[in-house]
Structure 1
Amino acid sequence: MSDIAADAPDTEDPETELDKDDRLKPEFVDAVIDAVETGDDEAARELAGRLHPADIADLFEQVGRDQRSDLAAALSELLDGEVLAEMNDFVREDLVDQLDNVQVADLAGNLETDDAVAIIEDMEAGDQREVLSALDPDDRAAIEEALTYPEESAGRVMQRELVAVYENMTVGDVIDYLRDNQDDTLEFWEIFVVDTAHHPVGTCALSWILRTPREFLISDVMKREQTLIPVDMDQEEVALRFKKYGLISAAVTDSSGRLVGVITVDDIVDIISEEAGEDILRLSGAGEGDINQPVSEAYGGRVRWLIANLGTALVASFIISIFGAAIEEMVALAILMPIVASIGGNAGTQTMAVAVRALAMNELTRSNTWRTIRKELTVATLNGATIAILIGIGAGLVFSNWLLGAVIATAMLVNIVVAGLAGVFVPVTLERMDQDPAVASSVFVTMITDSIGFLAFLGLAVAAGLVG
């Protein structure tokens, strides 16, 4: 470690494994890999043993795919369920494939249900059954139940480990119960109060229990208003409820209203990050967009949208072909055409990004759709007027043709206004059709802005008599 410390920047502690941005230093990663490659597993474990489980997970993500099996063998004592739960999905799947099913079962058995499900859900059916059969019956039942729920639903991400007490218990009864059953649950912030049918009737923060005399009924201390999460609710909707109501945890109920699990804010942080990343990547047509994604999956996820984009681009090309003779007659048209399309496309992308985000956050609803459209139309008109004046003056001066400047200014204004409308209408229409607006919006908005831009510019040039 002395060589590593010598090379470290002055702004960082030379004895730490992380840089100032909490990322593993390249020198540290190289030192671990060098130890593994030379067969010094003890040195590798000593280096990695100082890391947090999340940083050990990062270590596996930093090394090449062909190095992970050797690293896993060297760090077998450190490779526990908590490390796997922190790993990138693709890296974890690759690593789990290299472990035998008994090892996977041992790791999953030491995790909370939601983390165990994340490890097991992507395994092959045969391997999945073998892992489940090796688990403790209670753990197996909980995981099998979770796997029956839709992917990315509350049932998949909820924890079964929670504290639930009956409403007729006193505060003293609850405290005694918690002390006598310390192995039943992990960390928790609030207690759920249920009736005899196990329906949640309220919640009680630990701070309230600690400050209340023992003889008080828990039903007199609890908060009856609570946000209940249906077990089949999409995780994105769950995250929105946490954000809207400022929740730390929330009870999950089944179709009969019985308490079956709890979702905590630490799970929601992961979901928000995941969903935000998904929407950005879908907006660009990049599929999963993960740097650890296999080449074949990355290719398949991206090429289909490029093919779709190729098809929509032909529409704009067809419009250009109609005015082929005009373009040949006046070269300036060919020079200025890309500007009209480019600016219109960027304007449409700006509005589309705002609309997709608003839809994802439940901010753009049927109640305020038309108000949003009017607002975006106003913004687009102001933007269009500003850009139109600039490009009109510029084109008039450069080509010494003020009529050409007026034509491109008008076309630019039209295209930016249309782009603003398309940026809202396309994602809203897709959302009304129960389609993900983040997936296909960019393809259609680009087609509209390119087509309208070329049609407006070339059509106005012909109509104004710039070409014969």
Structure 2
Amino acid sequence: MDDKYDAATTSPDRLPGDAASIYGEDGAIEPNFLHEVAAAVKAGDAERVRALAGCLHEADLGGLLVALEPDLRPELVRVMGHDFDFAALTEMDDNIRDEILAELPNQTVAEGVRDLENDDAVTILEDLDAEDQAEILEALPPVDRAQLQRSLDYPDHSAGRLMQTTFVSAPPFWTAGQAIDVMRDTDEEHLPDSFFEIFIVDPAHRLLGNVFLDTLLRSKSAARLDEIMCVDRRRVEVMEDREEVALVFQRYNLVSVPVVDEAERLVGVITIDDIVDVIQEEADAEVKALGGVSENEELSDSVWWTAKSRFVWLFVNLITAFVASSVLGLFEGSLEKMVALAVLAPIVASQGGNAATQTMTVAVRALATRELSHANALRVILREVLVGAVNGAAFGAITGLVAGLWFGMAGVGVVIALAMLTNLVAGALGGILIPQVLHRFDIDPAVSSSPFVTTVTDVVGFASFLGIATFWFGLA
């Protein structure tokens, strides 16, 4: 065993800052550390498990759980007991979390979520069976139960599901010194784990503004909160989609944002750490969607579920492939007379498809981030068409030269050059227009654009190349 590693992992006094030593150069958890934890869990050695994993950050503890054998994951939770941080269960994919929770008594889960921030507790509870969820909620103190139930009642992907319900608020007539004294005298369990501001509310709990902590600490003790508060504080509605919330954070460079209901009453707060997760999840979903993969697919999914989830999109692509292939049937006579056309036709279609995918990717992302709108759509379309024309001319010249030398026929080079130019321009148009049309009809362009764009480039590629060849060589 490596001496440095051994010193870092076997000392019961290991500090949280040493958590990085559990990872190897490849970013994976060190096999030796994983073996030690697994052995301690199997032996039921609670003291040893706590010495090894008790100081880990929730993200590292979550990574450790994922790396362990499935049957050892719930055992680790049981062995660590009250020292296990249930926030670690939010740091893994849904399938693994559900498997762990299914093996734990509901009472254990209730005790674990009791000390979590509201948003983390919701993440753990939201996918449980209704019966288990109700039993866990029933085991919680009434106040915690009411807050969690209210959050769970909000729609999925809404700000209400994402927010924390623990925040600091104060009336406008309080002074800065009074607010600081009240926070100092308040039990830690009634304050958020971390916060950046206090919210100023009226007697009906409607949001009036906020005072950031740095402003509060710099102000005179006698200064009233309504004199130093920011009245134009950005806010989001509780039913607002989390993608819209993420755009607010991105646009205004926020670290937190208050959540209000339809009556402008303050009901929660969303912090930047939650939004980072949202942005990552949305980016992950978009990348998967572009490949025709369900946004819910995880590496831990079963073979059957994965195959079934991908089948539909592959079937759609198969249909569009038949449509594209039918174009070849229209030029059957030309293909029989000149073998070179059959060899070169896929090159034109493939190059057009690749260029269209580049344009489509830019368009889908720009629509998602609201960078592409009615105001600049025409300019962006023109730009993409010109890019397609420039690349089409360049690759047409290169392909035409190679094809002419390959088959010893200058005419073949001219034909494929013209077809390449035509198809790359068509691909650029399809790649930019199809996502916009789908978006206009409230159809997710990330999910639906690919087969349509591919069909356009295949059909135009085959038709242009074989049509120009038929005209040029008189093969009809």
C-alpha change, 1:50 and 1:18, in structure 2 (3 Å) is farther
Aligned to 2:215: 208
1:241 alignment counterpart? 248
Alpha-carbon offset, residue 167 of structure 1: 1.1
Cα 1:297–1:79 shift into 2, 3 Å: farther
1:118 aligned residue (115, 120, 123) = 123
1:185 to 179, 183, 191: 191
- Whichever residue aligns with residue 36 of structure 2, its letter is A
Residue identity in the other structure for 2:448: A
Letter of the structure 1 residue corresponding to residue 279 of structure 2: I
Partner of 1:315: 323
Q: 1:84 aligns with which of 76, 85, 89?
A: 89
Answer yes or no: is 1:433 the counterpart of 2:441: yes
Match of 2:29 in 1: 24
8 Å CA contact 1:4, 1:27 repeated in 2: no
Letter of the structure 1 residue corresponding to residue 191 of structure 2:
T
1:340 match: 348
Q: Does the C-alpha gap of structure 1 residues 343 and 4 become closer, same or farther in structure 2, counting only changes over 3 Å?
A: farther
The amino acid across from 2:141 in the alignment is D
Counterpart position of 2:73: 68
Deviates more, 1:13-22 or 1:331-340: 13-22
Give TM-score, length-normalised by structure 2. 0.92
In the superposition, the TM-score normalised over structure 1's length comes to: 0.94
Same amino acid, percent of matched pairs: 43
Q: Counterparts of 2:38 and 2:155 in 1: how far apart (Å)?
A: 39
Give the secondary structure class of the aligned counterpart of 1:408.
Answer: helix
Equivalent positions of 1:230-269 (< 5 A) are: 230-269=237-276
Task: Give the direction of change, closer, same or farther, for the CA distance of 1:142–1:296 in structure 2 (3 Å limit).
Answer: farther
Aligned residues: 463
Distance, in Å, in 1 between the alignment partners of 2:99 and 2:339 is: 56
The residue aligned with 2:392 is 384
Cross-structure match for 1:166: 171
Residues 4 and 28 from structure 1, CA distance in 2 versus in 1: closer, same or farther, beyond 3 angstroms? Answer: farther
> What is the distance in 2 between the residues matched to 1:449 and 1:64?
47
Structure 2 residue 330 is matched with structure 1 residue 325: no
C-alpha displacement of 1:66:
4.4
- CA distance 1:33–1:445, change in 2 (3 Å): same
What CA RMSD, in Å, does the superposition of the two structures yield over aligned residues?
2.2
Q: Secondary structure at the match of 1:16?
A: helix
CA drift at 1:105: 1.2
Q: Does 1:229 align with 2:236?
A: yes
Aligned partner letter, 1:143 = L
CA displacement, residues 276-323 of structure 1 (integer Å, 9 cap, x when unaligned): 111111111121342123334322321111111111111011111222
Distance change (3 Å), C-alpha of 1:99 and 1:429: same
- The range that moved more, 458-467 or 269-278, is 458-467
Match of 2:149 among 134, 137, 144: 144
Give 1:51 deviation, angstroms.
2.5
Q: How big is each residue's C-alpha offset from its partner over 1:334-390, in whole Å with a ceiling of 9 and x where there is no partner? A: 111221111111101100110111011111112111111111111111111111111
Residue 241 of structure 1 and its aligned partner are, at CA, apart by 0.7
**Does the CA contact (< 8 Å) of 1:4 and 1:28 recur in 2?**
no
Unmatched segments (≥5 aa) in structure 2: 9-17
CA distance in 1, matches of 2:371, 2:416: 36
In the alignment, which residue of structure 1 is the partner of 2:14? none
Give the corresponding residue for 1:128.
133
Choose which of 268, 285, 293 in structure 2 pairs with 1:286.
Answer: 293
Does the residue aligned with 2:21 lie in a helix, a strand or coil? coil
Q: Supply the AA of the counterpart residue of 1:261.
A: G
Q: Is the 2:41–2:72 contact (alpha carbons within 8 Å) kept by the matching residues of 1? A: no
SS in 2 for 1:201: strand
Residue 369 (structure 1) aligned with residue 374 (structure 2):
no
Deviation at 1:20, TM superposition (A): 4.4
